[in-house]
Every structure is written in C-alpha cells, then in structure tokens.
A and B are shown apart, each in its own frame.
Chain A
Amino acid sequence: MSAKLRNTLLYLLLTLFALTALIPFLWMALTSFKPLEEVEKLNPVPTVWHPENYRKVFEQISFARYYFNSLFIAAWVTFLTCLTSSMAAFAFARLQWRQCDNVFRLYLATLMIPGVVTMIPNYTLMVKLHLLDSYTGLIVPSAFSAFGTFLLRQFLLTIPSALDEAAEIDGANKWQLFWDVILPLARPGLITLALFTFMGNYGSFFWPLVMIKSEHLRTLPTGMLFFDSTYGRQTNLLMAASLMNIVPLIVLFIASQKFLVRGIQMGAVKG
C-alpha cells in the first residue's frame, strides 16, 4: 500500500469517527435555534433562525442563577481541595516521619470506597448539622480528595530535595518551605488538579440533587433536570440550555489541553 493511499484511508477513518462525535452536538446547536414546530421535522437547518430561544431560557428559569451557583460552588471546592491536598501531599512527599508510607497507603485504599456508601451517612450528617440546602453543605464535603493528595504527592516527589536543605539553611520554617518554595514549583501539578476538580464539580449531580431543596441554590445539572421535567416539550429551549451548560467546559478545555492531557497520563503512570 502506498503511503499516500494509506494516509487517505487514515484521514477517512478519523473523519468518520470525528463526525460520529460531532453530529449530536451539531444537532443540539441547530435545534436550539429552531422554532418549536420545527424540532420534530427533519430539516437539519432551521428555516427561520430564532436566537431569542436563548433569551427565553433565561426568562423561563433562573438560568443565570444556576450558572452562578455552579461556578461559585465549583470554584470554592477547587480552592479548598487544592489547599488541603497540597498540604497533605507536602507531608507525604517532603517530611520525614515514621509510618509515612503506611498512612499514605491507607489514603490510597480509601480511593476504592464507592461514593454510594458514603453518600447516605454524609446526607444524614448534613441533616444533623442543619447544613441541608446551604452553600456550606454543598461545598465542604467535597473539599477533601484522596486522588488530589495522590496526584500532588507524585508531583512533589519529582522536585529536588536539595531545595529543602537550602531553604532550611536560609532559616525557613516548614510552612515557609511549603508556601514560598514548594508550592510555586508545584504550579503545573496544582493547575492539573484544579482543572480536574473544577470540571468534576461543575458537572456534579448526585450531591446537589439530594442536598438542594430551594430554587435559588440549584446548580446547572439539577436546574437542567428541573427544566427538563417541568418544560419537557420545549426541546429547542432545552437544547439551548444544554449548549450553554457545556460551553464553559469547552472553553476551559481548549485553554488548558496541555495540562489536562498530561495530567491524565501522569496520574496513571504510577497507578
């Protein structure tokens, strides 16, 4: 087989798969501009474009509020997770203490615990603490990550230990060593963890679903579910809302591909 023919075949296959990935998104985008009568017709492109569908979404449900809640909660969880994970990772990777490795193994073992097992007790805990239906209850339980600790520990281990000694000779204490020396060097690892945590929590569904009772706390996924079950027939508006839901993810992904792809590949090397 000549190289040219082979490349043409490869491009054909790649394009075929790319189209399979893309067509549902295209259908979503085109439907979001259709009038309701045309949703169930087969013309792919709307005969008359209705950009006001997007405005209607904001009028019918508090979509802006859902956006804000999702971003606000995901941002807080991301900040707290990065802080607690990097501190724990620092203890595991840069401090000498007995049982360090054993405690770390224990941490890793908790990664195996399925979410469904901890969900019910966490929910009853929130009920007892009167944190149901509150930002605190939505944010705090998600702010501790064994995966994050693991990821950052692997990253911190690659930073030369000569730095610690140099800092110590300069009279830095451990907190200064952590905050002023190690954290700035760990920035790529932190960015990766931040991206994972943010994307994961932006789309998180189960916890907000059981925690939220009032309208003003709804996040995008729970808000979408509400929109779907209450105004289910308005497929064009639903598609507009879905598209607006995923746009921040697409922007974030394109802006940070390098970190995400490397992070996924790094996380599994030692796995």
Chain B
Amino acid sequence: MTTPPTRPQNSRRARERHDLWVAIGFLLPNLLGFLLFTSGPVLFSLVVSFSNWNLQQTVPFRWVGIENYVQMLHNSEFWLYTINTFYFLLGMPIAVFGSLFLAVLLSQKLRGIVIFRTLFYLPSFTSGVALMILWKSLYNPDFGLINAAIRHVSDLLHLGITPPEWLLSTKNVLGLDVERVAVNRAQWGMGARDAIIIMGIWMGIGGNNMLLYLAALTNVPQELTEAGELDGASSWQVFRHIVWPQLAPTTFFILVMSFIGGLQGGFEQARVMTNGGPAGTTTTLSYHIYTKAFEEFQIGYASAVSWALFALIFVLTLVNWRFGNKEVSY
C-alpha cells in the first residue's frame, strides 16, 4: 500500500468538487427525466393556460391572458365539479378511522392474525379498473348483489325499503341540488356519488393506511400503556389518553396524504363506472380536465383548470400543515 495514511488537508475541497461531477453523472438520468416530464411540463402547462391552444387547430393559436380562468369561474359546471370533488372527501374520515379500527383489531395478539391482515389488504392491492367493473355489476339497481341483499333483508323484516338506484341516481346523503348550490329535499337519499364513496372505503380501509397505523401502534412504548393500566384506566381510557396522542403524527400524515390524493381523485371511477354522470354528479375536477383535454382537445382551458386544482391543493395543504402541526405537538 503506497497511499499515505493521512490525506493532505487541502483535499476536502478538491474532493467535494470532484464528487460534484460524479454526483451530476449519477443524477443525470433521473434529472433529465424530471426536467422533461415533471418540472418542464408544470411550467409549460402554466404558460399554455394563458392561450386558446386547441389540438384540433380549427381556431388559430393566440394568447388570451386570463380569459380561460375567467371563463372557468363563470362556468356553473366548474362549480358543480368542484362541489363533487369535495363531496368525495366525505368518505375520508370514515376511511381513516376505519383503518385505525382495523389496525387496533390486528394489533391484538391472536393466532392467524396475518391471514386477516392479508384478507383486509386484498381489496386495496387489487384495486383498479377490474374491481371498478366488478362494483359496477354489484351496484346494478335491478340485478346487482347489493340491491338483492337489501331487498332480501327488507322482505325478511317487512321493512318495505325501496333500494337506491346507485350509479343511476343524482340523489345524495346531503340532499344537494344538481342545478344550483342549495339543498333540495327531493335529492335526499343514496346515489352515484355515495356509491363511489362506499366503494372507495371498501377499497382503501384495509390498505396502506391500516398498515401505517399498525406500525405506529407497535411503536407505542409498552411502559406507557402498562402504567395506565396499573393506574386503573379502562382500555378505552388507555386508548384515548395514551395511545391516540402517540398516533397523532401518523394520523396527520395519513390525513394530509388522503386529502391531497382525494382532491386529485375520481378520474378512474368516472371513466370506468359512470362517464361522469348522471347529470355530471360524479365528474370531479380531474375527470373534467381529462374530458376537456382529451375529448374536446381544449388544451389551453384544461391547463387552466389543472393549475387551479394545483393551486387549490397547494393552499389547502399549507393550511393543513399550519393547523395540523399545532394539533400534533403534544
């Protein structure tokens, strides 16, 4: 070995510079991909949102300033789709607390618990177009399994329930009107939007969030829960006052991620199950962007809506962050 045992002092700088070029080399493939497919496009879409660009080129290209944004805000459909997008978030608390509940069940020391974990996870890791086609059949108002079950129970107990029309109905549990922003008693019930929420809960409840809660539950220090039990606290009290605060960072992470994901969601459901209908009630902003861009080829307008969605997500995430971080610190 001829290398001197100690390197001369001046080499750190030189090494950093040397490593810089090596680092650039290693980063290059990923970085190029990024510039080309992520950061470039984001800026490009902002620029395009100020134009009337149409892929069919029937209209000559010109810059239109903020016209697309003005048009968007004056479009009553845009507001319906925004309401739809937020409506779909209604399932989030049920899904998140459901995941926590399942994780608590799975954290019990019982035989064969891994089998249950796998079964709970099954809908989540197979979710996608195939399962949405399956649910479309389940929701068939006349022949689907769900209404068959409802009718069966109703007949058995003489309840006289008329099962919902599910994907064909504009009714919703909040009784929101379709035409204007108002509550309409005739709209009260279960319809397409609720059907999609229920399916989403079924798909997501045993998924990644449950696994995150499961990991967080095993990380709660046992001394804490044991101390609570020694002091005579009931299991609910131990959970509420000892375990739940320990889970706060996980809950915060899950809520923020579900929120971001939820606002972008609804595309697959709309494309596969409802085509955005009935009467546009299952069209979310992301499906609206898709139809504008890829069915009507209005790239400029679609880019404007996509930037509005981006801004909405960004602002609400910041608000969440400020509000949530305060809650989390205990």
Using a CB–CB distance below 8 Å, which chain A residues touch chain B? 7, 10-11, 13-14, 17-18, 20-25, 27-28, 31, 39-40, 42, 83-85, 87-88, 90-91, 95-98, 100, 103, 107, 110, 112-125, 127, 140-141, 143-144, 146, 149, 169, 174, 178, 199, 203, 205-206, 209-210, 220-222, 224-225, 228, 235, 238-239, 241-243, 245-246, 249-250, 253-254, 257, 260-261, 264-265, 268-269, 271
Given contacts A18-B116, A114-B306, A121-B48, 19 further A-B contacts (CB under 8 A): A17-B102, A18-B120, A22-B119, A24-B134, A40-B142, A85-B30, A100-B23, A114-B260, A114-B263, A114-B286, A117-B306, A123-B293, A143-B33, A144-B30, A205-B268, A225-B271, A246-B130, A250-B122, A264-B212
Chain B window 310-328, contacts with chain A (Cβ cutoff 8 Å), 1 for yes, 0 for no: 1001100100000000000
Least CB distance, A102 to chain B, in whole angstroms: 13
Least CB distance, A99 to chain B, in whole angstroms: 9
Chain B's closest residue to A168 (CB) is: B3
Q: Which stretch of B12-20, B61-69, B74-82, B222-230 is in the interface?
A: B12-20
Known interface pairs A114-B310, A205-B129, A249-B125; A124-B299 also in contact (CB < 8 Å)? yes
CB neighbours (8 Å) of A260 from chain B are 125
Query: Of the candidates B37, B120, B272, B302, which one forms a contact with A17 in the assembled complex, judged by CB atoms under 8 Å apart?
Result: B120
Chain B's closest residue to A249 (CB) is: B126
CB neighbours (8 Å) of A205 from chain B are 128-129, 268, 271
Chain B window 65-101, contacts with chain A (Cβ cutoff 8 Å), 1 for yes, 0 for no: 0000000000000000000000000000000000000
Q: Does B258 contact A (CB under 8 A)?
A: no
Question: Are B23 and A120 within 8 A (Cβ)?
Answer: no
Which of A42, A118, A250 has the largest count of B CB atoms less than 10 A from its CB? Answer: A118
Query: Of the candidates B30, B34, B116, B268, which one forms a contact with A14 in the assembled complex, judged by CB atoms under 8 Å apart?
Result: B116
CB neighbours (8 Å) of B313 from chain A are 112, 114
Q: Does B138 contact A (CB under 8 A)?
A: yes
CB neighbours (8 Å) of A246 from chain B are 126, 128, 130-131
Chain B's closest residue to A148 (CB) is: B30
Least CB distance, A157 to chain B, in whole angstroms: 15
Q: Does B166 contact A (CB under 8 A)?
A: no
Question: Are B26 and A95 within 8 A (Cβ)?
Answer: yes
Question: Are A10 and B309 within 8 A (Cβ)?
Answer: no
Least CB distance, B296 to chain A, in whole angstroms: 12
Q: How far is the CA of A95 from the CA of B120 in the complex (A)?
A: 42
Q: How far is the CA of A255 from the CA of B136 in the complex (A)?
A: 30
Q: How far is the CA of A95 from the CA of B272 in the complex (A)?
A: 46
Q: How far is the CA of A137 from the CA of B283 in the complex (A)?
A: 28
Known interface pairs A27-B138, A125-B41; A250-B307 also in contact (CB < 8 Å)? no
Known interface pairs A17-B105, A120-B302, A124-B299; A83-B309 also in contact (CB < 8 Å)? no
Chain B's closest residue to A143 (CB) is: B33
Q: How far is the CA of A268 from the CA of B126 in the complex (A)?
A: 21
Question: Are A14 and B105 within 8 A (Cβ)?
Answer: yes
Q: How far is the CA of A235 from the CA of B30 in the complex (A)?
A: 44
Question: Are B20 and A97 within 8 A (Cβ)?
Answer: yes
Question: Are B133 and A121 within 8 A (Cβ)?
Answer: no
CB neighbours (8 Å) of B253 from chain A are 268, 271
CB neighbours (8 Å) of A107 from chain B are 34
Known interface pairs A24-B134, A24-B138; A13-B105 also in contact (CB < 8 Å)? yes
Which of B26, B125, B142 has the largest count of A CB atoms less than 10 A from its CB? Answer: B26
Question: Are B3 and A88 within 8 A (Cβ)?
Answer: no
Least CB distance, B75 to chain A, in whole angstroms: 18
CB neighbours (8 Å) of B41 from chain A are 117-118, 120-122, 125
Q: How far is the CA of A174 from the CA of B171 in the complex (A)?
A: 63
Question: Are B137 and A235 within 8 A (Cβ)?
Answer: yes
Question: Are B133 and A228 within 8 A (Cβ)?
Answer: yes
Question: Are A21 and B133 within 8 A (Cβ)?
Answer: no
Chain A's closest residue to B129 (CB) is: A221
Q: Does B330 contact A (CB under 8 A)?
A: no
Q: Does B281 contact A (CB under 8 A)?
A: no
Least CB distance, B202 to chain A, in whole angstroms: 7
Least CB distance, A23 to chain B, in whole angstroms: 8
CB neighbours (8 Å) of A22 from chain B are 119, 122
Question: Are B42 and A261 within 8 A (Cβ)?
Answer: no
Q: How far is the CA of A213 from the CA of B123 in the complex (A)?
A: 30
Chain A's closest residue to B114 (CB) is: A257
Query: Of the candidates B34, B110, B148, which one forms a contact with A10 in the assembled complex, judged by CB atoms under 8 Å apart?
Result: B110
Known interface pairs A144-B38, A271-B253; A97-B45 also in contact (CB < 8 Å)? no
Q: Does B215 contact A (CB under 8 A)?
A: yes
Known interface pairs A13-B105, A18-B116, A265-B211; A250-B27 also in contact (CB < 8 Å)? no
Least CB distance, B298 to chain A, in whole angstroms: 10
